[in-house]
Structure 1
């Protein structure tokens, strides 16, 4: 007879076609294990198996972002606490052996011993849609780059007339010209032109696909987190990646220090003897790290406050890499606030009507403030966020 007052913890070793579940009590004793198919019926049977042994405290699941994603959603739907378990390291596996039951019991014991394991991403909202679009975009960018490299490589060994005709063109003009090439009577030249035309048209198609994905991404990112999308130096792709890193449930991030570690920008002590220093963190989500790196480089190119910050760090004796690491850590702190808090975005939809109602051109406004007309345009269209300038610009329009 099942003891319904018994408290148990589950563990699941996930695979593409099957999941192996195991149950232990709060003392770590093995109770039972069983294999289930990765179907809706299999998830229901697995959950029924786990709860049949008593009060289920939590379930440790390996691979909640891959093979275990469906099971994690099913467990959350039944209001069961899910913990993300990292597979045992290879040294432990060499000692204990490797099998599905062994891994399932190891996951259960990990969930039992460490109640503060990471909470997995929900992966069923708008952020999951953004992730899927980013995967497609990343693939398209990689394929477009490969096509462009192949074009340049073919031109190096192309027949002399072909090489002489196209070698001086810019990349944009080269792709456009090659997409319109015609056949040649010479067999080798004709084959070369056909290959170049095919690659150029592939490049054009992928460029259009990337532009379409970027437009959809911008809409989704703005709808999901307007404050992040409007932040200075952050574009739709970098904002989308940071949202994906946090997940649809950013409340799972315990602190801004945890988010910095997740992005691989937390300082790692590297002191020895009389030397006291920190080094770059080479762990964490490298896509998120790259996004923070792009934001840092963007702000360093035009934002005075960021330049002053880097100059101060350099004045303190830090190298350029160390100053950049500190800057990325500071940006991570700012991003964490935007991801986990509701930040109001100042309205900008009144700026253009206000300017047009007073008969002021963009060029006139730009000349007054000593900036490029593009800055006025991007501020009015919400493509760039600069709260201080927006406030000054609005006051000028109201008093002009």
Structure 2
């Protein structure tokens, strides 16, 4: 009997999800469900699955499979070894053929018999299952290194990683702290031939950590080479083994000695700040909320319209890292799984705060305040009392702001 597997189903039909979950559980497998591509990429960023069952349409009026093919292309681009079995209607044989050409391992036609579908998934896994990397504990695959986001800036970043990752070129990753520089380095490594060996992460400000450079070839992630003085940079250049691929994380390359820059920065990859990623902030907030709810045993988190508007308009001091912290805090503070703008605006360690009172609040209120107020009023059908409570304001304070903005 096949060993227990963990499967991800990407399907927007709750009835299908429930039926499949029962069938796979009875077969000894675990089935997680994603209602669409955004939820799927969030889950894939958290863990690897033995197989992915992918429906090809997520909008009731659509039947051309374009949504599924786009999702498949992203999955395979992020992980060429992913085991994807697509699900399509009998009339969709053309879509199934296109999916197979795009990297799917097999396809199943609707309607299916559970036993046949489970056997097909088991066979697809067995055909392409890679050997477990010897450097890892049994049953513990490398952690995913997936960069979430649908903005043009993130599409360009992922495309650059796919082109540069498989090469031995030295790469210096710049961008604001907290924007995802380390995750970008890990994604570059995951695209390389050394992906099965976790790279050491060396903070070059700690000279004692330099000894890890002597471990030989492979890849190393070097943090803060730009913060070394000229003498230390020259010593570092002499110390780096010839066969070591270096992925450096720095605030910039201008302060690097030219010789060291040539060694570490054959190419520079700048991670875009969250402010340049459009609605990616909302997508990331939902991702962090789902993870936090699972981690802390809280109800599945939902965000009010005002909270979504606040996230979209915010300037997060610590970039993605700051957004993650704010969302995790909001999930913990929520009693019913609903996250409102007041919970997001609450700065630690203050227990109770209004969203205009604290100078260290989590977003730039001068830019976001009107957007949040409009969203809260729409959401609560212009009930000022309810909108004020959602925003963490008194009724009088909200009335004053409404007058200020002509609302």
TM range, normalised to the smaller chain? Answer: under 0.3
Larger Rg: 1
* TM-score, with structure 1 as normaliser: 0.27
* TM-score, with structure 2 as normaliser: 0.27
Say which structure is richer in helix: 1
